Structure 1
Amino acid sequence: MRIGLLAQRTGVPPRLLRYYEEQDLLHPERADNGYRDYPESAVRLVQQIRGLLDSGLTTEIIRRILPFLDDPSRIHLHPQCLTPDLAALLEAEAERLQERIDCLSRNRDAIHAYLAAVRALRNGPA
């Protein structure tokens, strides 16, 4: 299938599909006229890539683990995949995600505190 159809079926713009190819995540065949030709399995693969990106993983990590994933609904790493280098990369990624979670939690708490303060002012003294 051509890139436009893959984009339509996955909801991922062609520009991002080309980016996934640049990042070595997608590997379309090329027709004689140079057009990209994706197999039917690319639909599931793009959905899997989107899910991994949405979960916060980087394209570098996805590129390293993608060959070992067998189900688009979960991250299941084959033991051969986990080299010491990849383990260090995943540990650093987990730390980065935790920092994001902590920041988001602080922002959520600040929003709740702001809302509580505004509501208290609006309602006046009890």
Structure 2
Amino acid sequence: MRIGEASRVSGVSARSLRHYEDEGLIVPGRFGNGFRDYCQSTIDRVLVIRALLESGLPVRLIRELLPRLTDGSGPGTDAVGAEFLREVQSFRDRLAARIAVLSDQRAALDSYLREARRTEL
């Protein structure tokens, strides 16, 4: 299928599909005229990429993870897998720290709003 249909089927913009290709995450086939040709397995991969991006993983880690997802070996099966898991854990820890800061900021704003409402009455 061409890029417009692949975009419609996957729910991912044509621009994102081109970006995934530029990043080496997908390799669509090509028609004789040079247009991209997306098969179902590429669409399935796009859906996995989208889910991983939505979970917050950076493209660099997704690029490393994708071959393991498709060959069935899974992360953690060798030294590279162990390093990958450390990177994912580090990413998760940084995310947790950001969430903690945001939670503190939200609590401060909630407190401010409660106080402001009391003074309005």
TM-score (norm 1): 0.79
- Structure having the higher helix fraction is 2
- Per the alignment, residue 19 of structure 1 pairs with 19
Structure 1 residue 81 displacement after superposition: 6.2
Aligned pair 1:116/2:121, yes or no?
no
Q: Which runs of 5+ in 1 are unaligned?
A: 71-75
- Per the alignment, residue 85 of structure 1 pairs with 83
- Per the alignment, residue 73 of structure 1 pairs with none
> Structure 2 matches for 1:40-79, cutoff 5 A?
40-69=40-69, 77-79=74-76
Cα distance between partner residues in 2 of 1:81 and 1:32: 41
| Matched letter for residue 79 of structure 1 | G
| Total equivalences in the alignment | 118
Pairwise CA RMSD: 2.2
Structure 1 residue 96 displacement after superposition: 2.0
| Matched letter for residue 114 of structure 2 | A
Higher mean C-alpha displacement, 91-100 vs 55-64: 91-100
Structure 1 residue 3 displacement after superposition: 0.9
Closer, same or farther in 2 for the Cα pair 1:82/1:65, shift >3 Å? Answer: farther
